Amino acid sequence: MRILSIQSAVSYGHVGNSAAVFPLQRLGVEVMPVFTVCFSNHTGYGAWRGPMLTGDDVREVVLGIEERGGLAGVDAVLSGYQGGDSIGDAILDAVERVKRHSPEAIYACDPVLGNAVSGCHVAPEVQNLIRDRVVPRADLITPNQFELGFLTGTSPDTLESTLASADLARAQGPSTVLVTSVARPEAPADTIEMLAVTPEGAWITRTPRLPITANGSGDVTAALFTAHLRRTGDPAEALTRTAASVYELLETTLASGQRELQLVAAQNAYVEPRHRFTAERVR
């Protein structure tokens, strides 16, 4: 399996490609990382160093890969945070190029917009880019519950309303929606859920809610689900495997007492997680 992953890169910590690439490699995936920024650390610290790359920079790298024949046999293009129209256009151009060489490839987009606690934290330009131009071109999107509501103009807060919002998102273009953090009053306290909705049905999986918020965990989730879905073709199994791996990664990080994801220490979790949280069909 081969994935073209166009995301940010940091030297300290794990977000973007610095979160997604290693777990994919441990699964045996050949990853071609293309960077959109090269920062010292993620911006959650409030200060960082290093350059932002331009859309032209991204195009040049993808063009070089294409010239080597590297866009043939690609299974998926994966993207995360998009800082503006320039990067967004370059990613969409890369998707078009990949699909010319690899017609069966999918575009998996993590539409990074914000969360229920802090709200939308990207510029209006990026909001419009993601909602109006990127999501309609994607085959798979992996929003959290807040982002799903933002993309569809809804307020999902129950299983039924989240399913309805996912259907609205799918009507915009993507065939598959993975909602990465479902919180609903009817679920047991101290749990968190993920919901996968496809043309064939919908499945939900539940894990204990850990007292930790770790930058980059969404990037790992999107990467693992994309790989498992492409490899197995089974949304329920992809959801089951992803939930178990991400839970163990967060469990390991919490036990370490460190702020940054313990991506290397938890590496066996991507291949043989200790837990299993079976996905339940809900539609």
Ranges of residues in the chain with a pLDDT under 70 are: none
Q: Considering its fold, how many domains does the chain have in total?
A: 1
> Where residue 89 sits, what CATH number does that domain have?
3.40.1190.20
Contact by Cβ (8 Å): 133, 151: no
Q: H-type helices in the chain, by residue range?
A: 17-26, 55-67, 85-101, 124-128, 145-152, 159-171, 217-232, 235-256, 268-271
Residue 48 neighbours by CB under 8 Å, 6+ apart: 10, 39, 40, 41, 42
- The pLDDT assigned to 116 comes to 84
Contact by Cβ (8 Å): 157, 184: yes
Question: Cα-Cα-Cα-Cα dihedral of 61, 219, 216, 26, to 10°?
Answer: -80
Which residues pair with residue 157 across a beta bridge? none
Round to whole Å and give the CA distance between 82 and 80: 6
Contact by Cβ (8 Å): 265, 252: yes
For helices 159-171 and 145-152, angle between their N-to-C axes, nearest 10 degrees? 50
Which residues pair with residue 54 across a beta bridge? none
Q: Which residue has the tokens 């103009």?
A: 153
Round to whole Å and give the CA distance between 47 and 9: 15
Domain that holds residue 206: 2-281
For helices 17-26 and 217-232, angle between their N-to-C axes, nearest 10 degrees? 40
Nearest to 184 by CA among 206, 168, 152, 199: 206
Q: For every residue of 159-210, which 3-state class applies, written as one string? A: HHHHHHHHHHHHHCCCCEEEEEEECCCCCCCCEEEEEEEECCEEEEEEEECC
Which two three-digit tokens encode residue 262?
């313990």
- The pLDDT assigned to 121 comes to 85
- Which amino acid makes up residue 21? V
Total count of residues recorded for the chain: 283
- The pLDDT assigned to 83 comes to 87
Which residues pair with residue 205 across a beta bridge? 194
Count Cβ atoms below 10 Å from residue 59 Cβ, excluding itself.
Answer: 18
